[in-house]
A and B are shown apart, each in its own frame.
Chain A
């Protein structure tokens, strides 16, 4: 019995329940439903954290080395990011969309073939630990807990992905709300969400987190590639697609300050950007050959 897979099953159930609670809050506007939803989101976050911890224990390294593990990290970061946003802005109905994305991610991770889920030792290229950190930790004999470029690169990249996922959900909501506003549609489903202007602003804030973190992910990948593969940039499909994604979000940031491009077109760019993220993440791994074959 692999403990991490047990926690995964529990988390899957929690995310379904969380989504249902948020949807219930959105539909019925009951305060207790909203509180339940937030509490459930915290339970799901705790459970996702346990997947990562137990997997780290099983494999003996940070749980960032295959597609399944990185999916769990993505789900964890999206949940944490969402809860932070909910705490700061107090718009709970948005949780319906974000948690639906989480549930879909859980579903796709659970459908992965077993070879993408199994506990594997690190191949030579993935074994990277910061020497300075090992030196410090070795004082207490803890050097095996040192992290390296692998951990830093994957972690920062996935914070970026999480930001983009949240922005994607918000951009969808923006388009829907914007349409309702221009057509003067008012009903309680539309009313549950903040103004399109606020949704646009929040979506921008999510990208303002995702964009620099993706950049840090790309740069740390380049630093590491320079160390492991002998060059910082090789136009490998993964590298190129990360740059494509980065260009699209750069375009989004410029669109927001360009007349005729703010609002709807910027929202479309955010949606296209997330499609690029999905391709960068899953498409490249499965379809395009390259050095970056793990996840």
Chain B
């Protein structure tokens, strides 16, 4: 397409379809497009911080009303950073970067390589925005040697030409700084690539594990077991840290154990496991507290505790009780005839027990903490069981994350750091000097350019001039 651009510029008959390619190229190559995309990304990103992302539709309706909610879904503001139009803006940025690099890098590279061949014209020195002219009572060659020494000491590369009473000097420094912007631009492409790799080949998951239990890790051939979970507190009662001891189980064998906490994940076979939260388990308790109720007296006997999955004799009666089930927020699915927890919160705790008369199973009732006596524990009996409380079990909340793009992103950010150092702190300086001895005195013209930081360069030129004039007896300007 670059050829087309040249064609169009060369005055070939310009029909719209002939110039279309070059027009598109010109459009994609323009800095105004860059500005448009950058400002566009900045402005649109604001929406996603105002509208909370990835909430349930009910929440949006509650917050914004139905009409606005339908607009939010129409414009995909509920998951804005993955909306097609936002991704399109990012893609535009990538295309803009690629086109600009193609267009600008080769000529820049060539001129940086061939910079010493640039034609030298002493009259141009006065046209630079930074230039000085001094007259010295020294021979041209002395001045040349002195200047060359000073420039080399300042780590300039120096070319000198001429002889006798007329010399040209060309000095340069920091050429590589010109490449800073290219490194930075390419680093953005690498970072975007890492993000794309991550979103295609990675996944995120969350699981709560209870001590002693194992989970199957998605897309992996190993399991993960929680051996221990505990919370540390400050003296003030604030949570200091929470910790899990995790074991990787492969083919039924323990292969790796590590204690993790917030800021210290476990890494195994490309998957990271993070300590991200904790809470009360909703499907298991450590023990429950139950009391016997004599229907005739309508009062509770002394309560007793029963551990999970174990049998306890009920004091003052012929029964014994086994604790077999718990649910934090009791719900019953009539279709499948199963009990489940509506939420992980203990909104409506219920326990499931088995009641034995000797060896004989009498009944397996659910007891509700908030609704004692709603269903009789033992049908047609003069006693009832009341669920008073329980000692909960903590689960450890583990985030699971596989993101093979992460390292690509880090490579990108390293390139960016390198690019920034070059772009912002290495300046490409070029200095031309014309020395001419005439009638016993020598005229020296010094001028140059810098690609950035004009203020520093002004001083550079001045210091350079001072270095040759300071020890010279007579100086005039």
Contacts and interface: CB of A to CB of B under 8 A. Distances in A.
Interface in B268-323: 272, 274, 276
Contact of A243 (B45, B406, B452): B45
A24 interface: no
Main secondary structure of the interface of A (DSSP, over half): helix
A124 B42 contact: no
B263 A212 contact: no
Given A121-B234, A241-B49, A230 B265 contact: yes
A145 B195 CA distance: 35
A251 B265 contact: no
A184 interface: no
Contacts of A59: none
B410 interface: yes
Contacts of B261: 124
Contacts of A123: 238-239
A247 interface: yes
Given A123-B238, A124-B261, A288 B35 contact: no
Contacts of B420: 211-212, 215
B455 interface: yes
B416 A215 contact: yes
Interface string A263-295: 000000000000010000000100011000000
A240 B424 CA distance: 24
Contact of B45 (A128, A229, A240): A240
Given A124-B261, A240-B48, A261-B35, A251 B238 contact: no
A247 B35 CA distance: 9
B272 A250 contact: no
Interface in B23-52: 31-32, 34-35, 38-39, 41-42, 45-46, 48-50, 52
Nearest to B36: A251
Given A231-B403, A284-B49, A127 B234 contact: no
Interface in B223-267: 234, 236, 238-242, 261-265
A257 interface: yes
A255 B417 CA distance: 22
Contact of A254 (B34, B81, B263): B34
Contact of B262 (A124, A211, A237, A289): A124
A230 B276 contact: yes
B41 A247 contact: yes
Contacts of A288: 49-50
Interface residues of B, number: 49
A125 B409 contact: no
A227 B263 contact: yes
Contacts of B46: 244
Contacts, number: 117
A123 B238 CA distance: 8
Contact of A230 (B49, B81, B274, B409): B274
Contacts of A226: 406
Contacts of A215: 416-417, 420
Nearest to A269: B39
Interface in A98-141: 121, 123-125, 127-128
B272 A254 contact: no
Contacts of B204: 230-231
A108 B276 CA distance: 34
B364 interface: no
B35 A258 contact: yes
A122 to B, nearest CB: 8
A80 interface: no
B274 A257 contact: no
Interface in A221-266: 222-223, 226-233, 235, 237, 240-241, 243-245, 247-248, 250-251, 254-255, 257-258, 261
A228 B262 contact: yes
Contacts of A31: none
A228 B264 CA distance: 7
A33 interface: no
Contacts of B441: none
B403 A128 contact: no
A92 to B, nearest CB: 16
A212 B424 contact: yes
B53 A235 contact: yes
Nearest to A257: B31
Interface in A190-234: 198, 201-202, 205, 208-209, 211-212, 215-216, 219, 222-223, 226-233
B137 interface: no
A229 B204 CA distance: 11
A89 interface: yes
Contacts of A201: 453-455
A289 B52 contact: yes
B45 A247 contact: yes
A248 B417 contact: no
Contacts of B403: 231-232
B214 interface: no
A283 to B, nearest CB: 10
A127 B241 contact: yes
Contacts of A127: 240-241, 262-263
Interface in B200-240: 204, 234, 236, 238-240
Nearest to B262: A124
A123 B424 CA distance: 37
A229 B274 contact: yes
B284 to A, nearest CB: 25
5 contacts: A211-B420, A211-B424, A237-B49, A240-B81, A288-B50
Given A125-B262, A205-B453, A261-B32, 19 more contacts: A121-B238, A124-B239, A124-B263, A205-B455, A208-B424, A212-B417, A212-B420, A212-B421, A228-B262, A229-B274, A230-B274, A231-B204, A235-B81, A237-B49, A240-B49, A244-B46, A247-B41, A248-B42, A251-B38
Interface of A: 89, 121, 123-125, 127-128, 198, 201-202, 205, 208-209, 211-212, 215-216, 219, 222-223, 226-233, 235, 237, 240-241, 243-245, 247-248, 250-251, 254-255, 257-258, 261, 276, 284, 288-289
- 9 closest A-B pairs by beta carbon, nearest first, are A124-B262, A212-B420, A247-B42, A230-B399, A251-B38, A230-B274, A237-B49, A258-B31, A208-B424
